[in-house]
Chain A
Amino acid sequence: MTTTESSLSPERSGAPEPGRRAAPATGAWLPTWGLITTKNLEIRKRRGLMITMVVLIIVPTVLFYGLRLIFHAVDPAGYGVAGSPQFFSQSTNLIDEFGFIAAAALGAAAGTTDLSDGMFRHLVITGRSRLALYLARIPAGLAVLVPLVALAFLMNSLVTSYQSPPNPTTASFFSVTAPDNLNQAELKTFMLQHEQQVINGFLPGLPVGPGTGNPTPAQVTSAIDQNIASYYSNYTAAEISQSTPPVNEMAKIGLWLELDVGIAFLVGLGFGSLTGQRTTTIIVMVAFEIIVTPLLAHSQLPYFIDGQRLILGVAMDQLRPAALAAASGPGQGGGGGILFGGRGAIGFPPMPTWAMLSVIVGWIVAWSGIGAWRMMTRDA
């Protein structure tokens, strides 16, 4: 250790006087740019975490399309083109699921590593507002997460846009094949003109079944009259699922994806800050995403349906863009259709827009609030 330098500050002379230097405004709750960028640096330099992020977000998409592109290049006759509306939907869901887990892990790391590394104490001693220290983690973490998800989704969109077969001119639903771009009245006319197709398709509402024989034309007309709205919903779902999404719909899906992983990051950050334990936080978040949410989202519990709607995944599914929802296949759409063209991908009764937004905003605000509160009250 050298002690040759007499002073750190050239202007220092003699004993410091009280209030001689104006103290920096470290008490402000808003994080500074420097605080955000250095926190981002701290996250980026965690090599293991960054590798995990890339493996979870980028690698599945690369493998998914990479193998298909190679197979198609090697044997075009045996293997079709790499992209398709169905593959687009599947790949997006893959990014969403793995992205959620990666975001939760990133949030948990951002929320706990200062504590576990012993830096939290140093940071508190600086006098900087603890709220500012917490809030700095949000843009710092999102700056890592958002570009990775965007990159994965961009690959997905590019392959789908340039490597998909041409859009079909017809849409098939319940074995009925109708021309594209019909409105509800035109579809009704088409179905009335093609009764045999309708009968062969065993459409719901038709009096067909064992021992009933063929329905009469009057019965078919009556069934179409009564159920045209339902048939049209399935027709549009089929039409969307068999078409490559337009650019604006892809943009919408990308934003939905970023929102979903962004919320996962915020929940992981808040929960990690609450527990102070990274591993526990990640385990709980993964269990929530891959066990609890699917269980509660795909089955309706009597008298608990409103409780199920408080699950983040259910509300987010309600907001799921139509191209993703419809790709689950005819009849799978939840029928949300309430905001930005969202339809819901799961067989779950829709909830009002205000309720869906309340649940999503509630998750963001509640977990951010809990994390910030714990940060502000924790002993360092």
Chain B
Amino acid sequence: MNANQLLAAGTPTGPHGQHFGIGLLLLALVVLGSIGYGAMRLNDHRRRNRRPRPDTKPAPPTPAPAAAAPEPSRPRPVPTRPNGGWAVETHGLTKRFGPTVAVDDVELLVPRGSAFGYLGPNGAGKTTLIRTLLGLTRANAGTMSLFGTPVPLERSRALARVGAIVDEPRFHPHLTGRDNLRLLAAARGGAADQRIDPSLARVGLADRAGDKVATYSMGMRQRLGVAACLLADPELLMLDEPMNGLDPAGMQEMRAMIASLTDEGRTVMLSSHLLDEVERTCDAVAIVDHGRVIRQGPIDELIRGAGTMVIQVDCAEPARAKKLIDEAGIAAGTALARNGLTVTLPAGAGREAVADLNRRLVRAEIDVYGLREVQTSLEDWFLSVTSRLGEAS
């Protein structure tokens, strides 16, 4: 017998097959159980994400804690649908982490082609909302769509036209900026690969594209994040706190970048806790607190719609003037200021109320040197809204 014959020679199997069969049966039971459990979870997941039929009411959201449910009786304004439609549309969107409700019954409408700010204090649920919209985490209730494409049902189709930076942009540090983009372009498919160099040039990273990301500054990583967004030639960009970590020059560049993107007709939705930045950058805004959207719409309309008008009164005897106005009950609030008196007129008050205020002061023989309307900024308005929330809670 030669070596090959020897190698091919076998020996009979042992007598333990029947015992092995029992062991394998147990293994099969475990595997089948796991498959069953997985199917159950999948079914549950699909049921949760199923769009409600038109004739059925969505499941009621879990009641939020008192602090997160301001003005429950206030009806939600229904913005009129813009010509281009909504870039982002959510209804009753809710995301919970255990007992914590991070996104609470959010009704959000982002007009196509706008720069939209999602504004709220730290921990308000801004990032969670973006993560939910992008399918990075699953919603517990509600529906959402991007350009009318339901998410997560048709997530791949919806996200093909979306670029996003969520949290601090991080990349493989051992790869160059260009290689990281190649990785993402391969995942994007289509013509994304051809957009790598133009994207890098557009964000000003062409010269450093061959350097490892580990050597990049925070601002450069932010810019690489924007370049990654641009690979999709996106119609919608979601930028989560895009100004974080940027120096003033970087912030200015980012503002210019966002403006140029909206000029091209793209929709930019950015979340921020920086009121000033949102006011400078965005056309429309949604204010979020404790996971709930409490106001949304164009910034100027929101500020006007806040209703109050603040008048700076430059007069003699400001203390007596304050007493007079308080007793007359024509103001929502008065306050003595260093250079006179500040009078807050009630919601809906117009120019007549200013004239009436002047008449009363003159009749009381208080010399009036000037009346000036104080322009309300988004910050003032935001603080007034959130302070009301604080009082409500």
Question: Which of B164-172, B329-337, B339-347, B351-359 forms part of the interface with chain A?
Answer: B164-172
State the CA gap A305–B22 with chains docked (Å).
Answer: 11
The answer to whether A119 and B17 have CB atoms under 8 Å apart is no
What residue in chain B is nearest A171 (Cβ atoms)? Answer: B6
Asked whether any CB of chain B lies closer than 8 Å to the CB of A151, the reply is: no
- Of A56-64, A211-219, A235-243, A256-264, the stretch lying at the interface with chain B is A235-243
Which residue of the partner chain, among B20, B113, B179, contacts A309 with CB atoms under 8 Å?
B20
Task: Judge whether B184 and A126 touch: CB under 8 Å.
Answer: yes
Residues on A with C-beta less than 8 A from B20 are 306, 309, 351-352, 355
Chain A: CB-nearest residue to B213:
A117
Q: Answer whether residue B11 sits at the interface, using C-beta atoms and an 8 A cutoff.
A: yes
Name the contact of B256 in the complex, choosing from A1, A240, A310, A336 (C-beta under 8 A): A1
Which residue on A lies nearest to B155, using beta carbons? Answer: A127
Q: Kindly specify which of A40-48, A66-74, A199-207 makes contact with the partner chain.
A: A40-48
Assess whether B6 is in contact with A24, with CB atoms less than 8 Å apart. Answer: no
* Contacting residue for B23 out of A128, A246, A310, CB 8 A: A310
Contact residue among A18, A21, A23, A26 (Cβ-Cβ distance under 8 Å from B148): A18
Cα separation A315 to B93 with both chains bound (whole Å) = 50
Binds A, one of B46-54, B199-207, B296-304, B367-375: B199-207
In B226-249, the 8 Å CB interface with A consists of 228, 230, 232-233, 235
What residues of chain A lie closer than 8 Å to B180, measured between beta carbons? 119
A residues 319-341 touching B (CB-CB < 8 Å) = 321-323, 333, 335-338, 341
Instruction: Let me know if A137 is at the binding interface, CB within 8 A.
Output: no
For B84, the chain A residues whose CB sits under 8 A away are 15
Whole-angstrom CA separation of A47 from B38 in the bound complex: 38
Q: A310's contact among B27, B156, B161, B175, by CB below 8 Å, is which?
A: B27
Contact A2:B204 (CB < 8 A) given known A39-B183, A335-B11 = yes
CA of A39 to CA of B193 in the docked complex: distance in angstroms? 15
Residue interface mask B191-231, A partner, CB < 8 A = 1: 01101001101111000000000000000000100001010
- Select which of A5, A128, A358, A377 is within 8 A of B198 by beta carbon: A5
Given contacts A32-B186, A128-B188, contact A119 B172 (CB under 8 A): yes
Tell me if B85 is interfacial: C-beta within 8 Å of chain A: yes
Q: Which of A119, A323, A366 sits near B171, CB closer than 8 Å? A: A119
Q: Give the total of B residues in contact with A, Cβ under 8 Å.
A: 93
Residue-by-residue, is B113-140 near A (CB-CB < 8 Å gives 1, otherwise 0)? Answer: 1000000000000000001001111100
Q: Is the CB of A240 within 8 A of B3?
A: yes
Given contacts A26-B156, A122-B171, contact A41 B179 (CB under 8 A): yes
Contact at B199–A8, with CB atoms within 8 Å? yes
Whether the Cβ atoms of A341 and B182 lie closer than 8 Å is no
Tell me the complex Cα distance, A21–B195, Å.
Answer: 15
Interface status of B328 (Cβ within 8 A of chain A): no
- Closest Cβ of chain A: how far from B4's Cβ, in Å? 6
Question: DSSP majority for the A interface?
Answer: loop
Interface string of B370-390 (1 = CB under 8 A from A): 000000000000000000000
Query: Judging by beta carbons under 8 Å apart, are B9 and A3 in contact?
Result: no
The answer, yes or no, to whether A195 is at the interface (CB within 8 Å) is no
Interface-located stretch among B69-77, B258-266, B273-281, B306-314: B258-266
Whether B235 lies near A16 (C-beta < 8 A) is yes
A279 → chain B, closest Cβ, in Å? 17
Contacts of A27 in B (CB 8 A): 155-157
| Contact present for B204 and A121 (CB under 8 Å) | no
Residues of chain B lying within 8 A (CB to CB) of residue A38? 179, 182-183, 186
Asked if A76 CB lies within 8 Å of chain B CBs, one says: no
Query: Is A51 on the interface with B (CB-CB < 8 A)?
Result: no
Chain B residues, Cβ within 8 Å of A305: 16, 19
Q: Does any Cβ of B come within 8 Å of A75's Cβ? A: no
A126 and B148 form a contact (CB under 8 A): no
Contact B131–A380 (Cβ < 8 Å) = yes
- Closest partner residue, chain B, to A351 (CB atom): B20
Q: Is A208 an interface residue (CB 8 A)?
A: no
Q: How far is the CA of A133 from the CA of B188 in the complex (A)?
A: 11
> Out of B134, B170, B233, B264, which one reaches A125, CB within 8 Å?
B134
Interchain CA distance A9-B256 in the complex, whole Å: 19
Are A8 and B9 closer than 8 Å at their CB atoms? no
Across-interface contacts of A243 in B (CB, < 8 A): 3
Q: Do A26 and B166 have beta carbons less than 8 Å apart?
A: no
Give the residue of A8, A23, A35, A306 whose beta carbon is less than 8 angstroms from that of B22.
A306
> Does B254 make an interface contact (CB < 8 A)?
yes
Q: Is B8 interfacial (CB 8 A cutoff)?
A: yes
- Interface residue? B324 (CB, 8 A): no
B58, CB-defined interface residue at 8 Å:
no
Nearest-neighbor residue (CB-CB) of A348 within chain B: B14
Instruction: List the B residue with the shortest CB-CB distance to A18.
Output: B147
Contact partners of A1 in chain B: CB under 8 A: 203-204, 223, 250, 253-254, 256-257
Q: How far is the CA of A353 from the CA of B24 in the complex (A)?
A: 13
Q: Which residues of A sit under 8 angstroms from B12, Cβ to Cβ?
A: 335, 337
A12 lies within 8 A of B186 (CB): no
Q: Which residues on A sit within 8 Å (CB–CB) of B157?
A: 23, 27, 127
A interface list, Cβ under 8 A from B: 1-3, 5-9, 12, 14-16, 18, 21, 23-27, 32, 34-35, 37-39, 41-42, 45-47, 113, 117-119, 121-129, 133, 167, 181-183, 233, 236, 239-240, 243, 245-246, 248-249, 305-307, 309-310, 321-323, 333, 335-338, 341, 343, 349-353, 355, 358, 362, 366, 373, 377, 379-380
Further contacts, 5 of them, CB under 8 A, given A1-B253, A3-B253, A352-B20: A12-B265, A15-B84, A34-B189, A41-B183, A128-B189
Q: Pull 5 A–B residue pairs with CB atoms less than 8 Å apart, ordered by A.
A: A3-B260, A24-B190, A42-B183, A122-B228, A249-B7
Q: Measuring CB to CB, which residues of chain B are less than 8 angstroms from any residue of chain A?
A: 1-4, 6-17, 19-24, 27, 31, 38, 41, 84-85, 112-113, 131, 134-138, 147-148, 155-164, 166-175, 179-180, 182-190, 192-193, 195, 198-199, 201-204, 223, 228, 230, 232-233, 235, 250, 253-254, 256-257, 260, 264-266
3 smallest CB-CB distances across A and B, nearest first, come from A118-B170, A15-B265, A337-B10
